[in-house]
Amino acid sequence: MPSGPALPSAAPQVPPRTTVGTGPGPTVLPRPGRVWSQMLAGVIALGTLPVLEIWWSNTSPGTLAGGGTGGYLTAAGRVTGLLAAYLLLVLVALMARIPWLEHRVGSDVLSRFHRALGEYTVVLASAHAILIILGYALQDRTNPVTETVDVVLDYPDVLMATVSLGLLIMVGVVSARAVRKKMAYETWHFIHLYVYLAMALAFSHEFAVGTDFADSRRVRVAWSAVHILVAIALIFFRVLVPVRRSLRHNLRVAKVVAEGPGVVSIYLAGRDLRRLGAEPGQFFRWRFMTREQWWQSHPYSLSAAPDRRGLRITVKALGDSSRSLARVKPGTRVWIEGPYGAFTARRAERPRSLLIAGGAGITPIRALYETLPGEGADVILLYRAGRAQDLVLYRELESIARRRGFGLYPLVGARQEAHPGSSEAHPEDPLSHHALIRLVPDLATRDVYVCGPPGLTRQATTQLRRAGVPRARIHTEAFDL
C-alpha cells in the first residue's frame, strides 16, 4: 500500500491502489437535476424580452427612418444600454447566494454564468457609450471627440455613467484569467465590490437621461422594483442570514493542527451545528474575528464530513490572509456565510464516481471521499501533486481507503506538456485522457468530481471529455465572490 511521504517526487507512475476493507457510505439525498441550470439560462434569456419591449415601446419606425444613420446608431445605443443594465442586475442576483439557486444549480454553474455574462455586460455597456456618441455626432454634424466632451460634461449624470463604465471595465480586466492569477485574492475581491457602485451610478444615469424611462411611470416603477428586489436579496442572504447564523451557532476555533509545510487544519466547535444543514463538498465563507482578519472573509471548503461536534477546514498558505490563519488562537470567534455549493453526493447520476484533486482542491474531495456511497472500486480518487510532500491529508485518505476499500492513486510528478507553452496534455501525463482510461477503464460510465487550481480543472475537464465523459457528469467547484 502506498504511503504519501515515501513516494518519489520525480516519478509520475501510479502505485497499486489501496483495496483493503469495505463499508457503505451514507444514503444519498435527492440530487439537483441538471435541468435547473438549463432553466436558469432560459429565465435569463426570457428576461431580455420585457427589456426589449421597453425599448421598442419608445422607438417608432418613423423616428428611426427620419434620423438617418445617426438615428439608427442612437437607437442601437439605447437598446445595448438597457441590455447592459439588465445583465448587471442578473450578475448581482447570481452572486446574492440565494439558497434555492446554490443548492439546485451549484456555485460552479452560477460562477460560469457570472463570468460569461460579465463579459457581455462590459461589451454591451461599451457599445452603448460608443453608439450613442457616434449617433449624436452624426445628428449634430460634429466629430465624435467634441460630441464626447459635450455629452459627458453637459448632460445630467452622464459623468457618473462614465465613471460607472470605467469601473465595469476595470472589474472586467482584473477578472481576466491572465490578470486574476497574478493578483492577491484580497485585492481582486475588493476591486470586484466596485460593481455595486457601478450599478448605483448606472441606475441614476438611466433615470436622468434615459428616453425609455422619461415618459412612462409604469416602466420607472417596474425598473425600480426589480432593483429593490435584487438589493433585498443581496442584503438578506449575504448580510442578515450570515449574521443570524453566526450568532445562533457561536462558532469558535477549537484547535489548529499543522498538516504539512504551510498547511494547517482548523477545527471549529459551536452549538446546534446540525441545523446548518452542511454537506460534504460544500464550502463556507469564513471571517475570523481577529485584528488581522475581521474585515475580510474567504471561501474554504469543509475538509471533513460535518457533524454535531464541529467543522474542519484545511488551509494552505497562498497569501497573507491564509498564512496568518496558522497563528489564529483557540477561542477565536468565527462568523460564517453558507453553506454554499452543490458539489455534493446529490450531484451523482451514476452509482460509481471518480474524484480528481490537486492543491487546495483536496479539501472538498477528501470530505466526499469519506462519505460517498459505495465500496471497493465504486469510488476512485486521483490525487495530483508535483511533489510527495504536497499530498496533504494523504494519511487520512489512506485510512478511508483501507476502511471502505476505495481506490486511491497518488499521481506525483511535474506536469508534462505536449508542446512547450501548450495547454494540451502529454500522452504520458497522468491526467491525459490516455492515462485516465488506463487507470479507470469504465471512466465514461462514472460521475467525476474535479477540484483544484484553475489550470488543473481546465486540463482535467478537457481530457475527461476526450475520454468520453459527458459534460453533465463532470462536476467542478468554484469559490468566486
For residue 80, which of 136, 125, 138 has the smallest C-alpha distance? Answer: 125
202: pLDDT strictly greater than 50: yes
Class of domain 250-340: mainly beta
Rounded Cα–Cα distance for residues 434 and 476 (Å): 21
All structural domains of the chain with their residue ranges: 4-28+348-476, 35-244, 250-340
Q: Give tens-digit pLDDT for 454-469.
A: 889 989 999 999 999 9
B/e letters for 404-432, b = 16+ CB within 10 Å, e = fewer, are bbbbbbbbbbebeeeeeeeeebbeebbbb
pLDDT at 54 over 60: yes
Quote the cell numbers at residue 297.
472573509
Q: How far apart are CA 273 and CA 18, in angstroms?
A: 33
On whether the CB atoms of residues 87 and 95 are closer than 8 A, the answer is no
Q: Is the pLDDT of residue 3 over 80?
A: no
Is the confidence at residue 177, as pLDDT, over 80? no
pLDDT digits (tens, 9 = 90+) for 249-259: 999 999 999 98
Question: Cell numbers 454591451 label which residue?
Answer: 124
Inform me whether the pLDDT recorded for 15 exceeds 50. no
Q: Which cell is 143 given?
A: 466629430
CATH T-level topology, domain 4-28+348-476: Rossmann fold (3.40.50)
**Residue 325 belongs to what H/E stretch?**
none
pLDDT of residue 439: 92
Within 10 Å of residue 322's Cβ, how many Cβ atoms?
18
Please give the average per-residue pLDDT across 226-231, as a whole number.
94
More confident residue, 295 or 448: 448
Position 60 confidence tier, pLDDT thresholds 50, 70, 90: low
- Beta-carbon count within 10 A of 367 CB: 25
CA distance linking residue 218 with residue 214, whole number of Å: 10
CB 76 within 8 A of CB 141: no
- 312 vs 112, more confident: 312
Whole-structure pTM value: 0.78
Q: Which of these ranges, 23-37, 284-298, 441-455, 459-473, has the smallest mean pLDDT? A: 23-37
Q: Do domains 4-28+348-476 and 250-340 have the same CATH topology?
A: no
Most confidently predicted of 196-205, 313-322, 461-470: 461-470
